[in-house]
Structure 1
């Protein structure tokens, strides 16, 4: 089994999901007492979130590139960056290390196409929904993402940072998120494009096919470890 590095903490809530799902995925494939061979570097999210808010993406990229280098030094043979938004700085990370970064956008786009879809509604942080770094990655695989309107993008961003990243799952916020999906015109699927959205919603809540970026990213990580 190859060793996988996790660059997490953004947020700690979803990094917990990564850890559990990676171990579950390896156990499902190999059985018995098998578990994932992992190295985890979990950052303090508050300084990273402050750099996001200030638009200091160079500073955030430098911080995560340094953490990735430490993962490589600890024996990681590939890296999962356990966040969608911070894939904006994936080039800075890739420039710093000599091991692969398994890109969450690629895993997500491939999963959308595998379900026969191409026009998903993207639910994510405002950075991911409004900037091009993620949507362009999807587009490279023939996936054209739709996003909610401005008011809904702002509200969803607040739900993610003020509630989900802090371990709060509010039924009222769930109803609001489901209303955003119901309003979507022309969507053939839904991407949980923030690693926390799956803490609030599930496929059972939604008629359209759901692609949870966290879980498909985990699957790609398991493929690497065992492939």
Structure 2
């Protein structure tokens, strides 16, 4: 069986979600609770990632995340994921530093949007994910529209992600504010779906909260991990 490697800690809450969800989906696939996938987790510091991006030290970020990936490869991971969206700003550069496959959360989400025939997609995440092009590029390059909130709303969402969700805090008032931002995007931009482009966002937003499809990047990414595991079966 292929062993998964997860670069975690980006943040801890989503890393916690990856672990049991990956196990549950693996057991469902084999229809047995008496089996467990083998995996490695290398938990690094999300605040180092934020600092590198804020200070435009992307070479330092490539080195930091690349080192985490190489350690997973060295101990026997057969494929590797980074359990966060923001860190994918340097995904391509990091992927070049390892010989084992890496599964991109951005590529996986784009593929899911294509499967569902989505055309105009909203994107929520950290300010780095919303203001940079790394998540938007595959959508724009292939004729899809991708929409982010206003700059003021981006800053608000980022603050709540970092101060609350990354620390395991789910505030009902924050949820209502997020829903108001999403409704504005629906009314003004006519989005047909919404990417939860931060792996902590499913803590506070779920299917049924709004009248558009939600693309849960955490779940999409884990489903791709399962596909990779069973390529060897």
**C-alpha displacement of 1:142:** 4.2
Conserved 8 A contact 1:39-1:76? yes
TM-score normalized by structure 1?
Answer: 0.96
**C-alpha displacement of 1:46:** 2.7
SS in 2 for 1:76: coil
**C-alpha displacement of 1:169:** 0.8
Q: Could you tell me which residue of structure 1 aligns to residue 140 of structure 2?
A: 139
Tell me the matched-pair count. Answer: 227
Residues 155-186 of structure 1, C-alpha deviation per residue, up to 9 Å, x if partnerless?
A: 00111111101111111110011001100122
Instruction: State yes or no: 1:116 paired with 2:120.
Output: no
Q: Could you tell me which residue of structure 2 aligns to residue 156 of structure 1?
A: 157
Work out the CA distance in 1 between the residues paired with 2:107 and 2:74.
Answer: 25
- Higher mean C-alpha displacement, 143-152 vs 43-52: 43-52
Are residues 166 and 109 of structure 1, via their aligned partners in 2, closer, same or farther at CA, if it must alter by over 3 Å? same
Instruction: State yes or no: 1:62 paired with 2:66.
Output: no
Q: Indicate the RMSD between aligned Cα atoms, in angstroms.
A: 1.2
* Alignment map for 1:27-106 (pairs within 5 Å): 27-32=27-32, 33-106=34-107
Conserved 8 A contact 1:22-1:218? yes
**C-alpha displacement of 1:98:** 0.6
**C-alpha displacement of 1:207:** 1.3
Work out the CA distance in 2 between the residues paired with 1:153 and 1:111.
Answer: 24
Conserved 8 A contact 2:121-2:194? yes
TM-score normalized by structure 2?
Answer: 0.93
